[in-house]
Amino acid sequence: MPRRSQEDRSRTTRAALEDAGRRLFAERGYAGVSAEEIVAAAGVTRGALHHHYGDKQGLFIEVLEKLETENTAAIATAIAALPDPADLLATMAAGLSTFLDVSRRPETVRIAMMDGPTVLGWERWRELEARYGLGMITDALQRAVDAGLAAPAPVPLLAQLILSAVMEAGMIVAHAEDPDTARLEAEQCLMLLISGVLRVPGTA
């Protein structure tokens, strides 16, 4: 019982820190929030932050990981709901549409799209993305190449270029004066790019 009680306290402390960090990082960005503000908002001590995450960056990475997990799950759910999840063009369309939806959330824009690459550094951020958005794009492209639905190409590089275009589209939508129109136009443009990569079986 004492051990379970300690585990419960740790869980509660971590949840408080992650909730406070997520809210503050989304509102003001990583650089605009101090560790002292986070622990005060969470109602815990500075020692608790260091014990569970090491420092503010450690907490940010945990928040980013959970946000990426949630966003990836939303995309996977949209794809799983398709009549034919094996239809790669429909799969990519559903994934792009869902991404553009989640990219309108302030926390996705600020934490995942703006601060993520800066705080982690490009290489470390790309390693993280390989488990989430980049990983999904890479898998879809590799399946397309293997099935003869896309011309042979260096898939990792192509996936990175597509991810860059998708993230840029997300930023455009997030900062547009008319987000609904921007979202529609961004989705149309991204689908033009994707359909240019894929091809109908049997065609040149």
Please write the tens of the pLDDT for every residue from 172-182.
998 899 999 99
132 touches 101 (CB < 8 A): no
* Domains delineated in the chain: 1-54 (1.10.10.60), 62-197 (1.10.357.10)
pLDDT tens, residue by residue, 73-89? 999 999 999 998 778 88
**Residue 129 confidence class, pLDDT cut points 50, 70, 90:** confident
Question: How does the average pLDDT of the chain come out, rounded?
Answer: 90
Distance CA(51)–CA(105), nearest Å, equals: 30
Report d(CA 170, CA 160) in Å as an integer.
Answer: 15
Say whether pLDDT at 200 is over 90. Answer: no
Compute the Cα dihedral for 7, 71, 126, 90 and give only its sign. positive
